[in-house]
Amino acid sequence: MSSAVERGEPQEVTGHIGAGLVAFIGVTHDDDVAMAVKLADKLWHLRIFPDADGVMNASCAEVGGGVLVVSQFTLYGDARKGRRPSYVAAARPEQAEPLVEAVVTRLREHGAQVGTGRFRTHMEVALVNDGPVTLLLEV
């Protein structure tokens, strides 16, 4: 089982992992490097994988899972009014890209196999959601 992100014509795989986590990362205006590092630590140590007894008690670090990191400004889309979402809460790419890179760097420092998407490109994300866990993490 694997997850990947592709872009462009012809299709180019920019990131790929086996079993692990797919993390869609949204950045807002008041996020900083400390928050990016905290998020990476949280992702790496989050106990959501089954242990030997089948209980969600193991982390990505413990199971040797990879992390596919995909920047996603649309996570900050606000569709409460009208039919067209507003993205004013999303940080500009110039601010967001270094923070997403800080998450990637910290995960690699932990020893994670990390795959990534690419900023400012149209991406196709293929993922396998193996189990009941989809979480919104905020730090």
Catalytic residues: 72-74
**Cα–Cα dist 125/117, whole Å:** 9
- Give CA separation, 135 vs 22, 66, 95, 129, in Å: 11, 17, 24, 12
- If one counts every other C-beta atom within 10 angstroms of the C-beta of residue 102, the result is 19
- Burial string for 16-39 (b: 16+ CB within 10 Å, else e) reads bbeebbbbebbbbeebeeebbbeb
Radius of gyration (C-alpha) of the chain in whole angstroms: 15
